Structure 1
């Protein structure tokens, strides 16, 4: 092997560039404050000059982009987010949220059978209760991601800076201890990322990941309903959002069908 090359003959500097394109932790987590202050100064001027009848609706309108940045999973208003792999290589990134669970070993066996790799975005409290599964995920060549400490899905979007930092930092500490290496990727709970997510991500060198293929398998839909929505999106570069831990076993059935479709379409499930 020639110096400066890796096993797939891609120069190391090209790999570094590819990784830098994908893995982008926030660098300016407080930049949104400038936009907020500037917009409200304009609101104050409009209110003063034109009265509350115009100033009030104008103030509401200036807040809408900030709400959009919280509620839209792909919004880059508060910081970078990866929602698709670049290029047209025949590969996808399988991401599995909410584990570990009773499904984990079965999912691992299915992935092994198809020579597929995935990133498991783990909830730290659940991981601490099943440390053997975290170790098995890593030993089988898969990756783990940070999916919060307690998975507060009803109010994650509304957490303040202190509680948000605790959710992310505590999870990072727990998962690092269990896996023997620090997660590099973070997925916001329910995909919603408020302004206070960015500072802990920067400090922990975490990059936020969304998705481009989603079948809503986490909300009780049948495998048929999930696949009818998911199947058209399974294309080169897709980041596929899946879940584990459902009581009815539908997540296992969805994974089985996804892996079969990927195989039929000549798509490899790889880690980024």
Structure 2
């Protein structure tokens, strides 16, 4: 009989040889876990990537609008939106992990001193009835509420980007978010909407918009030249039923209306071309 067999005959095996629910963390695993949260640049990286996507999308929109012979690519807009959504989601998940890192249940594992898991200590670990680190992480992770970590400017641009895609497909339709969800709200909440459609005409001259501007106060859109003329003698919004007081400083370019006009012209040209083909 070999010496190995002789030594093995004196070993008393634990009653339960399966792995216990609680397995102590190795010191190097704890260090790796802690190192993940010492990297303070994680949020900065995602924020920088979001800003880069925002900058690229803005440049694309500006370029298309600066060249009247070009049209928006719905596929390109969808790719920008999808990229923005994916980066925002990863940023949120990373933020959730950082939140649970500082919770008492998680911190206790990093500082806990436990004996090593061996055949001699296996029965003790089975009897300990302590939760496994992975299970605690999962439980705490599911309890953390997801919240947006992107800044207001990024969220606002994301909403604008989705609106651009919508009006490219439906130039005269009201964006769902533009409609009031509260039936008790005043009629002013549905801006420039008539019969479920958005008017592409200046409410003052009734001519089609060329240089539309948006009121930051009441969200109505006007042709720039006509509202400037109106404000020389009257500082009230010219829309019937709206009592908002306006100044030139309350006006800003209505980029979305410009895109509506561009898209409507494209749709009309396509329609005329189809009619010519039929004839």
TM, length-normalised to structure 1: 0.24
Higher helix content, 1 or 2: 2
Q: Whose RCO is larger (CA < 8 A, sep 6+)?
A: 1
* Higher-Rg member (1/2): 2
TM, length-normalised to structure 2: 0.24
